[in-house]
Chains A and B, each alone.
Chain A
Amino acid sequence: MSEAIQVVGLYVRDQDEAHEFYVGKLDFRVHTDQRNGDYRWLTVQHPKQPSFQLGLFRPQAPMHDAVTVQALNELVAKGAMPPLVMAVDDCFATYARLRERGVEFTQEPIARYGNVDANFRDPSGNGWKIIEKGA
């Protein structure tokens, strides 16, 4: 497959913290972690999805001015960024495992419409939904 979505980025408030969360708690793997001065290009991958990278980026100079950085950091903290959805095989099991690791769940697993879904947030405020289809 040569044509596909390769990277989609999230804004995070702190890349060390995001690394610790996505790799340490969600079991993602680091794809690229390149620094250039204050700038850091950090992407991670779902262990079962090697063709896709999730970028963990910090709103920062020189791409953004200080006011924009502040605005973006606030928006992320408000949970105003778009929904993120992840498919899981067993929503209850994933919920139990992640909760044990201190992931902040905002909705416990609910069975509805033939699926089971639960919500959590990353430390920055990005909201994830995990869905088990056809449960």
Chain B
Amino acid sequence: MPRPVQARGRQGLAKSAVRDILLSLGWQHSAIRARNKQIVTDDLVLLFHGETQTANGQCPLLVRRLLRAKDRMDASSHEAWPVERLAKVSGVSEAHFARAFRKAFGIPPHRYLLTRRIERAKALLRDTELAITDIAFESGWNSLGTFGRTFHDVTGESPGMFRTRERRVAQEMGQVPPCYLSAAHRPDLTIAVSEKRRRNRCYK
């Protein structure tokens, strides 16, 4: 990875030239505008990295940006996260985003979001008295039907069944911070939900 020192010497580049190069690398106009006043060292390092990919992996500075998009999905998994919104958070192009995210985190962004929604739904089912319809909307689904079907496809049981079963289990985990407990309930979605559904059908 090139050291930031090397990049600093290049900061004298005319702003317009930097912008052209960033655009050619797939940056969005808005992301460039936001940083136009101060093209930071990070950006220059990324810039001179070309494809932002090293011989044996991804540029850590790019990964750090992608993590920002993941963090935002974590914080607000109930919100809609189309690729353009995520790409903007990371300051990379839409075309580049999904592939780079998947390479960094081993899962496509929309499926990652799904795991967080299921995790949240599980927490709400277990810890609150909210009606299942409310939980569906609270965790980001637009309809109860889609929520129920997806929940079943992912976890193998309906939201109601999950709630009943969980409540029978005594919670003796008070010493572990709640978010880590909750993370243990996040589904490990290594395959697409449609594929999971298809396979489940085959066995029935």
Contacts and interface: CB of A to CB of B under 8 A. Distances in A.
Interface of A: 13-14, 67, 70-71, 73-74, 76-79, 83, 85, 104, 106-108, 112-113, 117, 119, 121, 123-125, 129, 131
Interface string B68-96: 10110011000000000000000000000
Interface of B: 1, 4, 54, 56-58, 60-61, 63-64, 66-68, 70-71, 74-75, 104-105, 177-180
B56 A125 contact: no
B64 A67 contact: no
Contact of B1 (A73, A78, A106): A73
Nearest to B54: A70
A79 B67 contact: yes
Contacts, number: 59
B179 A117 contact: yes
B63 A106 contact: no
A49 B180 CA distance: 25
Contact of A71 (B57, B71, B104): B57
Contacts of A85: 177
B41 to A, nearest CB: 9
Given A71-B57, A106-B75, A107-B74, A77 B177 contact: no
A74 B61 contact: no
A86 to B, nearest CB: 12
Given A117-B177, A129-B179, A79 B57 contact: no
Given A70-B56, A74-B63, A106-B75, A79 B70 contact: yes
A129 to B, nearest CB: 6
16 contacts: A14-B4, A70-B1, A73-B60, A74-B63, A78-B63, A78-B67, A79-B71, A83-B177, A83-B180, A85-B177, A112-B178, A121-B71, A125-B63, A125-B64, A125-B67, A131-B177
A107 B57 CA distance: 29
